[in-house]
Structure 1
Amino acid sequence: MAIRDAPVVDWSGRFEQFVSDEASLDAGELDEFGQAAWFVGRDDVSERAWERAQLRYLDDGDLVAAARCIFWLGFTLGEHGEMIKANTWTARLFELCARGAGDPRVDVFPALLRAHGAFTSGDVAASEPMYAAAAALAEAAGDVDLDTLATMGHGRALVTLGRFTEGVAAFDRIMLRISTGQVSDRAAGPAYCAVIASLLARGDLERARVWTRDLGEWCDAQRGLEPFRGECTLHRATVMQIGGEWDAAVQAADHVCATDTRTDTLANAWYRLAELHRVAGRAAAARDGFRRASQLGRDVQPGLALLHRDAGELDTAWAGLERARATGSPPATQAELLAAAVQVGLDRHRIADAEAACTELDGCADASGALYLQALAARAAGELAVAQRRTADALELLRSAWVLWRRLDAPYDAALTRVAIGCAARQAGDEEGAQLEFDAARTVLDGLGAVPDLARLERAAAASGPAPAVAGLSRREREVLELVARGWSNRRIAEHLFLSERTVARHVGSILAKLDVPSRSAATAYAYAHGLAQTP
């Protein structure tokens, strides 16, 4: 059964029913009560129900069921950061499992917990064989849920160790089990979130996009669901941004910022929201988002450095990137840091710095094998080749990057690549071809509302000759253009300049015609590029 065909599970309804019958629940029903309470976000009730359930199981002589109940109680407490309680129940679980040692149905619990403890403490190399052993025990015990969690941990360890092919194969096995209905909802949620987070960290956008869609469908099928809603929405926002659905991504990230309570999720949500504001030229909102993410403990590079780059603060941007590159980061983040370092290095006319970052990025992309990293590396190498006037190399690299961005369905990055292709074409003496590339990129960036990148495009497009029509703007048209660049509506401009809205509209139309740009956002970018408005 495919996940999208799964029936809706009404956890809210189950929870309310269990609450009304709580006094008469047996061990199995108390166990289900704990699960329902957990799914609707009632952790206090969940803990109480599972505690009672494990005692009933022990009274009934069912050691395996009692151990499973304690495992999930400790697991969920740990997931929510309540480590003292989680460790207390973990100690209880080890004590209980010692009674049934030798039975794989019991031995799997301490094996899985030891592996997880090694991984979370940073000893990833030690955790890898431990997860594999736990998965073997789970398979022997016929416990698909625990096998799924152990395989998930094994895959994460393999990816962290750079054994990407093996790790992704483990993830694929998990996703196949979930999508065919072999895994319970209790295990499916943690597995989905962990796998997608690992794929995004690696830069495997193709798989992440597929499984994010399925995670969304799984979340939608869980009525009353609380524990995974924020992560699910944030994964969607990340994928939507890459796919050019910026307005929807802003709404999704903003919703998580307003509703979630977990520190890590909130930090990632504020960073994602800040990035969406940055690429749209909303500098003040971007700065606020980065500040909030930083306060919650998240590193805000390379986004903050790119915000400084947009403002022309290149030395500050470089300093932030240098610091972040010195710390360990997942492959995708490291690649993004290096790609930003290439851009800022070129903007600072430090070709050697850009070349060093480009070489490191190539190695990162080769080690990962992810298309996203390969596309970043090819574009960065192409931009470097343009700066070094290796025109033929630049065109080959940039066209290769453009093909990869198209394959990844990433219109924003594909448009940025076409700007670089235009610069290379101009270098080759093909001004007509260059302008065609600039026009194609302008259409996409304008549609997205990518104001800072539109400004860079206009500077690149005007580099071969005088800026078109700047001198043709009247004093009043320049005033109107500056206010348009601030994002003001015609009504607000009219009130500020004591004009009618019709007059303002006529001025805006004249400005677009004189600058030969198709829209207000393109005019805004032009104004920033030519010093007719202050950078936001």
Structure 2
Amino acid sequence: MTTAEARERGRAAFETRAWERAYAQLTAADAAAPLPTTDLERLAVAAFLAGHDDESAALQERGYRELLREGRPHAAVRCAFWLAIVLINQGEFARAAGWLARADRLLDDAGRDCAESGYLLAARARQTVAGGDPAVAAEMFAEAVAVGRRHDDTDLVVLGRMGRGRALIDLGKVPEGVALLDEAMVAVTAGEAGPLLTGIVYCTVIDACRATFDVRRAREWTAALSRWCDAQPDLVPFRGECQVHRVHVLRDQGAWRDALAEAGRACVRLSDPPGQPAAGAAYYEQAELHRLRGEVAAAEDAYRLAGLSGLDPQPGLALLRLGQGRVAPAVAGLRRALDETPSPIERPALLTALVEALLAAGSVDEAAAAAAELAEIADSARVPVLAAMSAYATASVRLVRGDAGAALTAARRSWAGFHEVDTPYEAARARVLVGLACRDLGDADAARLELDAAVRTFRRLSAGPDLDRLRRLTDGGGAGARPGTVGSGSGPGLGLGAARGAGSVSEAGAAPGAAVGLTPRELEVLRLVAAGRSNRSIAATLVLSDKTVARHVSNIFAKLGVSSRAAATAFAYEHDLVAR
């Protein structure tokens, strides 16, 4: 194959998005004879999209030097901008800042009446957002859009709209921000933007949808991103992020088994090479699924990996602690996270979990204050899921305060919101609150219907902890507990903590301990704990390892909603589990 043929085949592969083939062909052509700068740019982009990040950065640096030698400083500035983007993706922020500063000085000599000045403005705006000033950044992005329009640069216009939309969302101006992001997505899905920018826009917009709990948009744009990734089998960046978004959508839709499998694949993909920015989100999604299914040890491990990857594992970790009966650590973790989260739009998931934790701690007035803040954010954002979350938190507080009528109104509003966007888990948990309010109002038949409907959904989802709590609640266990909001991590959650007697939804003829969700082996362990036996003694009696007994004890504490052996013993005697 001649050099010209390799170059032409590389160009053709680039146009068809066969990134690995484009990289191989253009690399071969470059080895035979140095590529012209236009093909060098193609090679750098293909290298990045095929996963050769170091090679892509080296090619961009070489392109920058070649463009300067050719006397094309503005093109060199654009090259430096995309080099900085590649470096930011690798986490090399200092090098990226250095290249942006070099490009900025180059424009001082070459002149700033050009599209490239808008690219650098967008880069500085991104740094301003990271510095905690989204209001200033939003204006800078708007100016970048104006520069793009003036110089007829579609990529710059899309980049500026995307940045401004995300900054406005950070300011709590959700409808205005979402409109700009939708406009950017229309250009991307129409193929008007370059491949690198397309991937950036997809991930930014879907992340914004998740941040604003806009379930419908997240589903729509995630499906579009999946199609885009599937059309490029060689694509390496963005594919892992796509998987994380897909996991979240599957979890919302109630397809937990599929979501868990996809989360596992995402974690594997994003762990090699290490340090990929989306790895923390992948581990967090995995942890949330394990938590919802009652797989405590696996959830602990995944939350730890999320934290090691740089992602704060709240509110999920606090909800796990709450399920273990460790209320004080849950409250402390959530308060710390909220103190570090000034942006209104990033607070709802934390506030939802805090309402639950404070109710569990008996701090009803503080829970009401957190619910009020959540309501204020929801009213401003005008997003259905946020409104449903707020209604649920409000209903929880009203129910604890004994205002069952007002609680019922808010709980029904919460169920309607979750049902409207087809999130079955959250809708089922809202029905639990409806059932509790009906029961407090004396309508036992309506309460039974609501609670039975919730049980059917929990069984279908394999939501073990929720089934356990609901069985305890309806069987009269835990009479002193309070309703709360056990959150799903990225969005709403509901509480199952209160029990006031009446009506059972547990299976007829269940084995001893089944009403509280204990397995036969866990019941054996509980009886020995109640007899005052140590873990080592229990292990010897049941021919188990110490580690296995410790795991059983931890699961028993979580299912009973207690935090000590003494409390577990008291529970066992109160519910005749020992006498049996």
Tell me which interval the TM-score lies in, with the shorter structure as reference length: 0.7 to 0.9
Structure 1 residues 357 and 419, CA gap change in structure 2 (3 angstroms)? same
Aligned counterpart in structure 2 of residue 432 of structure 1, from 437, 445, 449: 445
Partner of 1:156: 166
**Structure 1: which amino acid aligns with 2:519?**
E
Partner of 2:118: 108
The reply to whether residue 371 of structure 1 matches residue 371 of structure 2 is no
Give the deviation of 1:250 after TM superposition. Answer: 1.4
Partner Cα separation in structure 2 for residue 78 and residue 477 of structure 1 = 53
Aligned counterpart in structure 2 of residue 408 of structure 1, from 395, 403, 421: 421
Partner of 1:48: 58
Structure 1 residues 150 and 473, CA gap change in structure 2 (3 angstroms)? closer
| Cα displacement string for residues 317-373 of structure 1 (whole angstroms, at most 9, x for unaligned residues) | 222222223221554552122222222233333322322221122112122222221
Alignment of 1:257-406 (within 5 A): 257-260=267-270, 261-328=274-341, 330-331=343-344, 333-406=346-419
Partner of 2:108: 98
Question: Helix, strand or coil for the counterpart of 2:278?
Answer: helix
Structure 1 residues 485 and 363, CA gap change in structure 2 (3 angstroms)? farther
Structure 1 residues 21 and 380, CA gap change in structure 2 (3 angstroms)? same
Structure 1 residues 448 and 485, CA gap change in structure 2 (3 angstroms)? farther
Partner of 1:180: 190
Aligned counterpart in structure 2 of residue 77 of structure 1, from 87, 94, 108: 87
Give the deviation of 1:92 after TM superposition. Answer: 2.5
Give the deviation of 1:191 after TM superposition. Answer: 1.2
Contact in 1 for aligned 2:389/2:414 (Cα 8 Å): yes
Partner Cα separation in structure 2 for residue 356 and residue 527 of structure 1 = 29
**Structure 2: which amino acid aligns with 1:17?**
Q
Aligned counterpart in structure 2 of residue 14 of structure 1, from 2, 5, 22: 22
Question: How many pairs are equivalent?
Answer: 493
Partner Cα separation in structure 2 for residue 315 and residue 481 of structure 1 = 25
Partner of 1:253: 263
Contact in 2 for aligned 1:246/1:448 (Cα 8 Å): yes
Structure 1 residues 223 and 214, CA gap change in structure 2 (3 angstroms)? same
Contact in 2 for aligned 1:237/1:253 (Cα 8 Å): yes
Contact in 1 for aligned 2:170/2:345 (Cα 8 Å): no
Question: Helix, strand or coil for the counterpart of 1:222?
Answer: coil
Give the deviation of 1:109 after TM superposition. Answer: 3.0
Give the deviation of 1:17 after TM superposition. Answer: 1.0
Aligned counterpart in structure 2 of residue 144 of structure 1, from 129, 136, 154: 154
With normalisation by structure 2, the TM-score equals: 0.79
| Cα displacement string for residues 167-195 of structure 1 (whole angstroms, at most 9, x for unaligned residues) | 11110110111111211112111111112
Contact in 2 for aligned 1:212/1:235 (Cα 8 Å): yes
Structure 1 residues 481 and 388, CA gap change in structure 2 (3 angstroms)? closer
Partner Cα separation in structure 1 for residue 213 and residue 514 of structure 2 = 46
Contact in 2 for aligned 1:212/1:236 (Cα 8 Å): yes
**Structure 1: any 5+ residue segments left out of the alignment?**
1-6, 487-495, 499-523
**Structure 1: which amino acid aligns with 2:202?**
Y
Structure 1 residues 226 and 276, CA gap change in structure 2 (3 angstroms)? same
Give the deviation of 1:484 after TM superposition. Answer: 7.3
Question: Helix, strand or coil for the counterpart of 1:203?
Answer: coil
**Structure 2: which amino acid aligns with 1:10?**
A
Contact in 2 for aligned 1:256/1:269 (Cα 8 Å): yes
Partner of 2:181: 171
Partner of 1:501: none
Contact in 1 for aligned 2:474/2:505 (Cα 8 Å): no
Give the deviation of 1:469 after TM superposition. Answer: 8.8
**Structure 2: any 5+ residue segments left out of the alignment?**
1-14, 477-500, 524-540, 544-555, 562-570
Partner Cα separation in structure 1 for residue 171 and residue 146 of structure 2 = 21
Question: Helix, strand or coil for the counterpart of 1:9?
Answer: coil
Structure 1 residues 263 and 50, CA gap change in structure 2 (3 angstroms)? closer
Give the deviation of 1:236 after TM superposition. Answer: 1.4
Give the deviation of 1:39 after TM superposition. Answer: 0.3
Structure 1 residues 79 and 474, CA gap change in structure 2 (3 angstroms)? closer
Structure 1 residues 413 and 51, CA gap change in structure 2 (3 angstroms)? same
**Structure 1: which amino acid aligns with 2:17?**
V
Contact in 2 for aligned 1:455/1:525 (Cα 8 Å): no
Partner Cα separation in structure 2 for residue 332 and residue 114 of structure 1 = 23
The reply to whether residue 446 of structure 1 matches residue 483 of structure 2 is no
Question: Helix, strand or coil for the counterpart of 2:235?
Answer: coil
Contact in 2 for aligned 1:57/1:65 (Cα 8 Å): yes
Partner Cα separation in structure 1 for residue 457 and residue 82 of structure 2 = 48
Contact in 2 for aligned 1:203/1:331 (Cα 8 Å): no
Q: Provide the identity percentage.
A: 35
Structure 1 residues 147 and 388, CA gap change in structure 2 (3 angstroms)? same
| Cα displacement string for residues 401-427 of structure 1 (whole angstroms, at most 9, x for unaligned residues) | 111001121100000001111111111
Give the deviation of 1:376 after TM superposition. Answer: 0.6
Structure 1 residues 400 and 177, CA gap change in structure 2 (3 angstroms)? same
Partner Cα separation in structure 2 for residue 59 and residue 219 of structure 1 = 37
- Which has the higher mean CA deviation after the structures are superposed, 51-60 or 165-174? 51-60
Partner of 2:519: 482
Give the deviation of 1:21 after TM superposition. Answer: 0.9
**Structure 2: which amino acid aligns with 1:327?**
E
Give the deviation of 1:205 after TM superposition. Answer: 2.1
